[in-house]
Amino acid sequence: MRTVLITRMDNDGDLLLAGPAVRAVAATDRVVLLVAPSGEQAARLLPGVRDVLVWPCPWTGFDPPQVDRRSVNTLIDALVLEHLGAAIVLTSYHQSPLPMALLLRMAGIKFVAADSEDYPGSLLDLRHRATPGHEVERSLGLVGAMGYRLPDGDDARLMIKATQPAVDHGRFIVVHPSASVPARTASAKRWRATVEALVEAGNRVFVTGSAADRALTSTVAGSNAVDLGGRTTYRQLAALLRAARAVVVGNTGPAHLAAAVGTPVVSLFSPVVPAAQWAPWQVPSVVLGDQQAPCRGSRARLCPVPGHPCLDQVAPEAVVAATNAVIEEVAA
């Protein structure tokens, strides 16, 4: 059994989507994950991972650090100490794996694999061409080209290690209004109207978010819902989502965390990236939002269309109906 490095230098949600590919490799070999700080929380919850290395990557993220020679040398030294037999570079469809492949070569790793549209020179031993599909399928396609398969009985759903039991709050729905990319979620005003409609329909609602989201969660919750902004760790959020009847969320990490704990999702999904690649994976779900809006495929961080119509024109009543539908699907 050899030790294989898998890298994914993105956010927590991206790491969750890489989980099935990680499990496929871990069925045969030991897996070490290399992630950015923004993906560490999810990385430490993925089954099949022996160790997690964290490095502030200068070519990914919305506020990347400057290139620092000492940081690069420290990473290379750490990789050498892992005695790695191979490395797999997982990326999104718009990212190049070649900067990471260069560092892996400098660490002496003899076999490096990645999806790459660009000519890799001597940086890759396996230059795989990804076929269209969901991000989960892209990752599985790459590791599959190396001969890795999920074990019998593993249906490629998202998974995390067992979380602590959530406090019994009875029957409730979680609304998560924030996203790291503003264009991928609705406005605070629309979220507040949605919460009001869910409560009027007889639901108890918890509004979640990070400490940085407290102003938003307070506004969205108002006097109708329980404001949990900044009051849950990542593991506690996972436990809360597991206990929820459904989760209403934009295209952001907690949508995939909900899928990883098996909770149905109503996704207010802006088409700045394709739903076919990023929608909730293998859980009952409904995608709302105009997928043919002018912003489609733009990868815009801020909505380029006045009024953010693709999401802010989603009627709260439509969210209530979609929430009822996914709950009923689970109960059927």
Q: What is the pLDDT of residue 253?
A: 96
* pLDDT band (50, 70, 90) for residue 131: confident
| Level-2 CATH architecture, domain 173-331 | 3-Layer(aba) Sandwich (3.40)
What is the C-alpha end-to-end distance of the chain, expressed in Å? 43
Q: pLDDT, tens digit, for every residue of 148-168?
A: 999 999 999 999 998 776 666
Q: What is the mean pLDDT of residues 313-318?
A: 96
CB 93 within 8 A of CB 138: yes
Q: What is the pLDDT of residue 316?
A: 97
Strand residues in the chain grouped as ranges (E): 3-8, 30-35, 51-54, 86-89, 112-115, 126-128, 173-176, 205-207, 226-227, 246-250, 265-268, 285-288
Q: What is the pLDDT of residue 64?
A: 92
CA 48/CA 174 separation, integer angstroms: 29
Give residue 214's identity as a one-letter amino acid code: R
| Lowest model confidence (mean pLDDT) among 73-77, 220-224, 305-309 | 305-309
| 3-145 homologous superfamily | Glycogen Phosphorylase B; (3.40.50.2000)
Domain boundaries, the chain: 3-145, 173-331
Question: DSSP letters of 229-270?
Answer: TT---HHHHHHHHHHSSEEEEESSHHHHHHHHTT--EEEE--
* pLDDT band (50, 70, 90) for residue 169: low
Domains 3-145 and 173-331 share a fold: yes
Q: What is the pLDDT of residue 49?
A: 97
Query: Given phi > 0 = left and psi -120 to 50 = alpha, else beta, which region is 25?
Result: alpha
Q: pLDDT, tens digit, for every residue of 77-110?
A: 999 999 999 999 999 888 999 999 999 999 999 9
What share of the chain in percent tops pLDDT 90?
88
3 state DSSP class of 101 = helix
Mean pLDDT value across the chain = 95
Q: What is the mean pLDDT of residues 276-288?
A: 96
**CA nearest to 50, candidates 93, 89, 84:** 84
Give residue 332's identity as a one-letter amino acid code: A
Token digits for 114? 């990645």
Q: What is the pLDDT of residue 168?
A: 63
Q: What is the mean pLDDT of residues 195-223?
A: 97
CA 313/CA 316 separation, integer angstroms: 9
Distances in whole angstroms, Cα of residue 235 to Cα of each of 18, 45, 102, 232, 266: 18, 8, 34, 8, 21
What share of the chain in percent tops pLDDT 70?
98
**CA nearest to 21, candidates 164, 177, 133:** 133
Q: What is the pLDDT of residue 62?
A: 85
Q: What is the mean pLDDT of residues 216-226?
A: 96
DSSP symbol at 224 = T
Q: What is the pLDDT of residue 166?
A: 63
